[in-house]
């Protein structure tokens, strides 16, 4: 099966989905404070999606082969949780770091998938550096996106930046094609070699969502069937954007008023067609 090329109608639908997905993260930001539970953050996001946006949370009851239905609207991954943390009665405290991963489904059936890191109060030096390096990894990957580039170009630059900083790249989870389907081809690995993997073509849409560990890359699966932690209990960080391959490069679809700007390590995109 080839990677789908989105129609102009699909692309317009995915721009809307991406903006709505990002706006959920904007909305939740002021609530991410010491004392709040991850379950309360989930409830607030869920209500905002359904009652304000008219979107539906894609994770709720999502059950890929081998997984039990995901029981909540968003993923909240705290400290050594790599991804797919299930919101619950966990109270966030000063010094914690949390990734909130939001995927909305719009009325037209398009998915808007993105995540950001949040600090609870004052982060440790390690937490700040890991979070910053992971953000740079995501953006270095994004900056490689253009027709004729290869998926391996993205993976390589992410792996190189993470490992140069002394960190490791999680192998078991990756970015993914997305549209009316939540997870579709291609798999976007966050490691690899330049020039390898599928060639990018205008109209493809996929996520880039590196999971970077402060320690070793190995994972541990929790008995809930979803939560993934670092095996060595080291801190883990993740950021996620949804990217369209354009004729000249890329467009970040998960953009809103509160989207953090690209890091200094990535040059501002030349938006003028060559």
Site residues for ligand MF3 per CB under 6 A: 59, 62, 70, 75, 84, 101, 103, 113, 207, 209, 226, 240
The β-bridge partners of 114 are 102
| Nearest residue relative to ligand MF3 (C-beta) | 59
56 or 129: CB nearest Co ion: 56
> Who's near 159: CB < 8 A, 6+ residues apart?
169, 190, 191, 192
Tell me how far the alpha carbon of residue 210 is from its chain's centroid: 7
Determine, following the binding rule CB under 5 A, whether residue 113 of this chain makes contact with Co ion: yes
CB of 242 to Co ion, least distance (A): 8
The partner in contact with residue 204, picked from ligand MF3, Co ion, none with C-beta cut-offs of 5 to 8 angstroms by kind, is: none
Report the C-alpha dihedral over residues 173, 179, 184, 187, rounded to 10 degrees.
-50
176 is in an annotated binding site: yes
Per-residue binding letters, 234-253, with Co ion (x by CB under 5 A): ------x-------------
Determine, following the binding rule CB under 5 A, whether residue 101 of this chain makes contact with Co ion: yes
183 is in an annotated binding site: yes
Closest alpha carbon to 116 in 180, 45, 54? 45
The partner in contact with residue 116, picked from ligand MF3, Co ion, none with C-beta cut-offs of 5 to 8 angstroms by kind, is: none
10 or 209: CB nearest Co ion: 209
For 128: left if phi > 0, alpha if psi spans -120 to 50, otherwise beta; the answer is alpha
CB of 240 to Co ion, least distance (A): 5
The partner in contact with residue 59, picked from Co ion, ligand MF3, none with C-beta cut-offs of 5 to 8 angstroms by kind, is: ligand MF3
The β-bridge partners of 218 are none
147 or 225: CB nearest ligand MF3: 225
Strand order in the sheet with 211-213: 168-169, 211-213, 236-238
Selected from 207, 230, 234, 238, the binder of Co ion by CB under 5 A is 207
80 or 240: CB nearest ligand MF3: 240
209 is in an annotated binding site: yes
84 is in an annotated binding site: yes
First to last CA, the chain: 32
Count other C-beta atoms under 10 Å from residue 169's C-beta.
Answer: 22
Residue with token string 């560990």: 213
191 or 239: CB nearest ligand MF3: 239
- DSSP state, 51? I
Residue with token string 């050594």: 80
- Cα dihedral 223, 226, 227, 228 sign: positive
* Interface contacts to Co ion, rule CB under 5 A: 101, 113, 207, 240
Which residues participate in the annotated binding site?
Answer: 84, 101, 113, 176, 183, 209, 240
Which residues participate in the annotated binding site for a divalent metal cation?
Answer: 101, 113, 176, 209, 240
């Amino acid at each position: 099966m080839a990677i789908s090329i989105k129609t102009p109608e699909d692309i317009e639908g995915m721009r809307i989905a991406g903006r709505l997905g990002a706006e959920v993260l904007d909305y939740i930001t002021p609530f991410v404070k010491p004392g709040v539970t991850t379950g309360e953050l989930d409830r607030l996001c869920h209500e905002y999606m359904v009652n304000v946006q008219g979107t539906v949370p894609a994770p709720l009851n999502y059950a890929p082969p081998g997984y039990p239905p995901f029981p909540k609207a968003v993923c909240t991954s705290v400290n050594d949780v790599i991804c797919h943390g299930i919101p619950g009665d966990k109270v966030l405290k000063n010094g914690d770091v949390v990734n909130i991963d939001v995927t909305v489904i719009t009325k037209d059936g398009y998915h808007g998938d993105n995540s950001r890191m949040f600090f609870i109060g004052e982060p440790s030096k390690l937490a700040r550096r890991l979070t910053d390096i992971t953000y740079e990894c995501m953006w270095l990957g994004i900056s490689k996106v253009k027709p004729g580039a290869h998926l391996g170009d993205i993976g390589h630059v992410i792996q190189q930046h993470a490992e140069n900083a002394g960190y490791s790249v999680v192998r078991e989870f990756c970015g993914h094609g997305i549209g009316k389907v939540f997870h579709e081809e291609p798999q976007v690995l966050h490691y690899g070699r330049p020039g390898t993997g599928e060639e990018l073509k205008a109209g493809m849409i996929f996520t880039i969502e590196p999971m970077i560990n402060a320690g070793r890359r190995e994972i541990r699966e929790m008995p809930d069937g979803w939560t993934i932690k670092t095996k060595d209990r080291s801190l883990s960080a993740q950021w996620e954007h949804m990217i369209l391959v354009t004729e000249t490069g890329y467009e970040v679809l998960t953009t809103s008023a509160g989207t953090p700007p690209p890091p200094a390590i990535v040059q501002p995109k030349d938006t003028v067609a060559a």
